[in-house]
Structure 1
């Protein structure tokens, strides 16, 4: 790309390119050269917008986490509608889209990235997802659709862990019926049977 040519929203263009590389080639292939080549820009463009490649990757992960804010609000707003099992099955399917699964793999793959993200316990993206699910379950508990003594944090972790295992094979999405059965099993002691 010639120098001096303005690139509209270069950061988003680079994020989109990184996601394509991740999906196609995996975390080990994600390099600054691969990202800029995929984006069709000079390597210097990445370094103009980010201090280094790890800073770029940290912002890529943060961008994914920021997208979860809308998902979280929508999930909490859905409390009291439909069945808890159906709502959570749908939420897990939306959460674990192929890009999210690839980003989780990237965070696991790169120790430097985890250190730079500097989060508390857990893996970034998955930890935020667990908080999102716990928030929804707390809303359902307040409505009486989840047992008053239910440990929503533990239920959320169980759902996220189970969901991640089922979605980890990026080539084969889990059968929605199987996913629903897993959600129902995790919630078996917390949700009244008639509401499943």
Structure 2
């Protein structure tokens, strides 16, 4: 690999390279060498910008979490518009895209990375799930305040069901040698369809929908 390639925006290009490696090879394949090889630069470039590889990974996760914050903003802006089911379906599809889903096991299996994320974001190391939880919970609370879901709706339970179910729906694949497959065969199933996510959402919120002009469905 070339050792003298100049990276105009080194941090972002290294992040993008790490994302490609993570999606292709999974958490076990994400090493500093794999990242710099993918970016086409010398290994020393990464260490000129980050204290060590865990520092790099922590900044990568926080950068991607910031992107989720922007997607969460779109969910907040949808409060009171469209239907609750559609808004949640679109939000889960965005929040659990391929990169966030791939990052979660990376965090889970790297103790030092979790520790650094807890320092950067007090309250928990699984930053991606925390962002999704905060976004869904805030949205449901605002819809409850508007009367679009029942006043006695348990926001915490609904959020747990939506985030947990959404994560399982998008992450329910095994990865072998960078190749995703479903749990029942070798075919690549791809992400769940909007219809599948919609059915999950509808099942979770069915008991709290307010029937009328602002129906959830």
**Alignment partners' CA distance in 2, 1:54 and 1:86:** 38
Residue aligning to 1:150: 153
Quote how far apart the aligned CAs of 1:121 are.
4.1
1:123 Cα offset (Å):
2.0
Query: Counterpart in 1 of 2:64?
Result: 64
Deviates more, 1:59-68 or 1:145-154: 145-154
Contact kept in structure 2, 1:131 and 1:153, CA below 8 Å = no
Structure 2 counterpart SS, 1:82: coil
Distance 1:65 1:157 in 2: 19
Q: Which residue among 202, 206, 211 is the counterpart of 1:184?
A: 202
- When normalised by structure 2's length, the TM-score is 0.84
Q: Does 1:16 align with 2:34?
A: no
Q: 1:107, 1:123 within 8 Å by CA — same for their partners in 2? A: yes
TM-score with structure 1 setting the length: 0.93
Does the alignment pair 1:173 with 2:176?
Answer: no
Map of 1:35-54 to 2, 5 A cutoff?
Answer: 35-54=35-54
Q: What is the aligned partner in structure 1 of residue 27 from structure 2?
A: 27
Uncovered stretches (5+) of structure 2, i.e. residues with no partner: 174-179, 181-187
Q: Aligned Cα RMSD in Å?
A: 1.6
Shift of 1:73: 1.4
The farther-off stretch of 169-178 and 10-19 is: 169-178
Counterparts of 1:102-141 in structure 2, within 5 Å, are 102-118=102-118, 119-121=122-124, 123-141=126-144
- Contact kept in structure 1, 2:147 and 2:210, CA below 8 Å: no
Paired position in structure 2 for 1:164: 167
CA deviation string 1:69-109 (max 9, x = no partner): 21121111101111111111111111111111111121112
Q: Indicate whether 1:195 and 2:198 are aligned.
A: no
Q: CA deviation at 1:120?
A: 2.1
Instruction: Tell which deviates more after alignment, 147-156 or 72-81.
Output: 147-156
Q: Which whole-Å CA distance do the structure 1 matches of 2:130 and 2:91 have between them?
A: 15
Which one is further off, 45-54 or 106-115? 106-115
Structure 1 residue ranges (4+ consecutive) displaced by more than 4 angstroms after TM superposition = none
Distance 2:205 2:71 in 1: 21
Partner of 1:81: 81
| Structure 1 residue ranges without an equivalent (≥5) | none
**Contact 2:149/2:216 (8 A) holds in 1:** no
Q: CA deviation at 1:153?
A: 2.6
| 8 Å Cα contact 1:130/1:153 also seen in 2 | no
Moved more, 96-105 or 110-119: 110-119
